[in-house]
Amino acid sequence: MDIHEYQAKEILSGFGVTVPQGALAYSPEQAAYRARELGGNRWIVKAQVHAGGRGKAGGVKLCDSEHEILDAAADMFGRTLVTHQTGPEGKGIYRVYVEAAVSFEREIYLGFVLDRSSQRVMIVASSEGGMEIEDISAERPDSIVRSTVEPAVGLQEFQAREIAFALGIPTALTQQMVRTLLGCYRAFTELDATMVEINPLVITSDERILALDAKMTFDGNALFRHPHVAELRDKSQEDPRESRAADRGLNYIGLTGNIGCIVNGAGLAMATMDTIKLAGGEPANFLDIGGGATPERVAKAFKLVLSDQNVQAVLVNIFAGINRCDWVAEGVVQALTQNPVDVPVIVRLAGTNVEEGQKILAKSGLPIIRATSLMEAAERSVTAWKNDQSQNTKLRAI
């Protein structure tokens, strides 16, 4: 789960990371009022969206007057911000963060991520901040400092000092940098984060180390331990299909293809998508209905997959262990009976109660295409989709 910049800054400040003064606004007038509250003569208005690259896309504006703040905020609210991270669909702007402008002398990149190869928290830092880490890695790889944290002892002060020295932090500011590193690490581990990024972390003209921007991502499976973090979720920044799936306990990721997938098990779902590609099709989604898929759960999965207007065929691939094929078959029949669809439906069942499941599908009288193997199911899905498209084309021609 991602959160907004202002939320990440509030969390990190609670762990000792210094951040600039700022305030949230939900309208241009409120943005101007926030600037008056903050005081000063220069402010930054930042669109709050779950994406990087906001500055290049016009989502960050430096303002010298209240009038400029009103104009900048008015230009942002209700707009769809498109960056290299959002894709062409972009992200809607419904709130902005107003911050007092800060004069700084240096920019530093600082990131905490889980390195799966070493099964450790990896600290990635660079003296060349203010740009994406991918660009830093490509253009200035020598500037990147990497340090792995031993989980048995956590991040130690001596290790934080080594990172500060490697980044060329002035001696007078070393302790501030150590406090920042330790605070980020504590926030990462104590809140079950999967990523903490400050870019840029700056050294100001008055010798302070400030987090000018901040991002945090959390392990969704651990949110039950942190209800105050779970409350920070902003569904307006998420794919609505994925939000609906999460609310119903389904694991769903929307893709750009046209063959919808309903599968049990993440590994089988990945294999199903690969096989569809091998057969010449494009999967429209990843959907894992999990174990113990009741008929109601399968019916919900159908509604979710078919809510995607790009779906032109649906492949149900179940290898039942904990699941039962008869339950899945009942769910398919229930879904198609209650909400008839005009796209081909292909079902492959294997495992527990497969004979009962096949009988339920056969007796339903519904136009369900059955398959016995994954490859056969994928090929029949692609063929059915192409035939359906060909028939629709002929009808339009008539």
CB contact at 8 A, 348 and 374: yes
d(CA 209, CA 126): 15
Buried b (16+ CB within 10 A) or exposed e, 217-232: bbeeeebeebeebeeb
Radius of gyration of the chain, Cα coordinates, nearest whole angstrom: 26
Active site residue 252: no
For the annotated binding site for ATP, the residues are 46, 53-55, 99, 102, 107
Closest CA to 290 of 255, 256, 257, 328: 328
Cβ neighbours, 10 Å, residue 160: 23
Biggest distance spanned by C-alpha atoms of the chain: 80
Among the options 109, 128, 330, 379, which is catalytic?
109
CB contact at 8 A, 306 and 357: no
What percent of the residues of the chain are helix, what percent strand, and what percent coil, each to the nearest 5? 40, 25, 35
For the annotated binding site for substrate, the residues are 264
Query: Which residues fall within 8 angstroms of residue 274, CB to CB, at 6 or more apart?
Result: none
Both tokens of 326, joined, read 């008869």
d(CA 102, CA 379): 59
- Look at the block and give the residue holding tokens 């430096």: 62
Task: Return the DSSP state at 268.
Answer: H
Give the angle subtended at the CA of 300 by the CAs of 294 and 305, to the nearest 5°. Answer: 130
d(CA 94, CA 45): 13
Active site residue 197: yes
For the annotated binding site, the residues are 46, 53-55, 99, 102, 107, 199, 213, 264
Buried b (16+ CB within 10 A) or exposed e, 39-75: eeeebbbbbbbbbbebbebebbbebeeeebbbbbbeb
Among the options 97, 128, 185, 197, which is catalytic?
197
One-letter amino acid at 129 equals: G
Q: Which residues are catalytic?
A: 109, 197
